Amino acid sequence: MLHLGDCREILPALADAVVVTDPPFNIGFSYDEYNDALTDEKYQALIAASCRPSSVVIHYPEDMFVVSMALSELPEKCVAWCYNANTARQWRMVAWFGIEPDLGRVLQPYKNPNDKRIRALLAAGSKGRPLYDWWNIQQVKNVSAEKTLHPCQMPLGVMRNIVGVTPAETIVDPFMGSGVTGVACVELGRKFVGIEIDPKYFDIACERMSKASGSIEKDPAKDIGKVSFF
């Protein structure tokens, strides 16, 4: 189900869903419907209202301390998402608050398939080893095949990993953006609720999710488009 609106108004009714999101980073990015230059106090209040435990949050490593303070909780687990970029920052942190991931739920290829021990594992039917606590996944660039018109799009590979290792039946993304979290949920058979405040980005997510699931319905109460997947 996709909602167009303010996540702070919609989230209280979704207490059973686990939050998975990369929130606005409060770095002065130019959004149409959102002020990305809040005071520290207002930003912490936004994080506290939108990223309650249980949550999985993607952020720059230094700012994950702000998230932790806003939630009054230390993360259960942290993973480094690394990428090559023409910027000073080359990685972001993924942190699980109030829920512990199982990295063995997603397998990766063995590094050295010619090692005799690895050959034995493969011969015995092994499909790979559990994910490491760092992921080398490139950012979505303008030339990327998955690129949409959203300016800050998350890679589907990152969200596949997060959704895959997070033991949650229903996932909600309060800052849905291009809908990539929802696409990962569709691919992995999870229930998904997305919330987006910007109508332009909401439309992008609706189109993307429609292609992924093929099922659309209308909210008669507010005449707001929603998408139902399950």
pLDDT(14) > 80: yes
Question: Model-level pTM greater than 0.85?
Answer: yes
Domain of 27, CATH number, reads 3.40.50.150
What are 81-119's pLDDT values in tens digits? 999 988 888 999 999 999 999 999 999 999 898 999 999
202 inside domain: yes
Q: Is the dihedral of CA 221, 223, 227, 228 positive or negative?
A: positive
122 inside domain: no
Supply 122's token pair.
């493969």
Domain that holds residue 149: 2-102+135-226
- Whose structure tokens read 């590094």? 111
Distance CA 66, CA 215 (A): 38
* 208-221 average pLDDT score: 64
Q: Tell me, what's the pLDDT at 148?
A: 82
How large a percentage of the chain has pLDDT more than 90?
74
What are 46-70's pLDDT values in tens digits? 999 999 889 999 999 999 999 999 9
Distance CA 156, CA 68 (A): 25
Distance CA 20, CA 183 (A): 13
* 193-215 average pLDDT score: 89
Name the region of 212 (left: φ>0; alpha: ψ -120 to 50; beta: rest). Answer: alpha
H or E element in which residue 86 lies: none
130 inside domain: no
Q: 199 or 88: whose pLDDT is higher?
A: 199
DSSP bridge partners of 107: 130
182 inside domain: yes
Judged by DSSP in three states, 185 sits in: helix
Q: 183 or 228: whose pLDDT is higher?
A: 183
* 183-206 average pLDDT score: 94
Distance CA 201, CA 217 (A): 18
pLDDT range class, residue 215, cuts 50, 70, 90 = low
What are 123-157's pLDDT values in tens digits? 999 999 999 999 999 988 877 888 887 878 899 99
107 inside domain: no
CA atoms within 13 A on the CB side of 208: 27
87 inside domain: yes
13 inside domain: yes
Number of domains in the chain: 1
pLDDT(36) > 90: no
The per-residue DSSP string of 158-174 comes to HHHHHHHHS--SEEEES
- Under 8 Å between Cβ of 48 and 71: yes
Look at 162-176, 186-200, 205-219 and tell me which has the smallest mean pLDDT: 205-219
- Whose structure tokens read 């080398």? 136
Q: 173 or 213: whose pLDDT is higher?
A: 173
Q: Tell me, what's the pLDDT at 46?
A: 95
Characterize 78-112 residue by residue with b for buried, 16 or more Cβ atoms within 10 angstroms of its Cβ, and e for exposed.
ebebebeeeeeeebbbbbbbebebebeebeeebee
pLDDT(35) > 80: yes
110 inside domain: no
Distance CA 195, CA 176 (A): 5
Residues 6+ apart with CB under 8 A from 121: 110
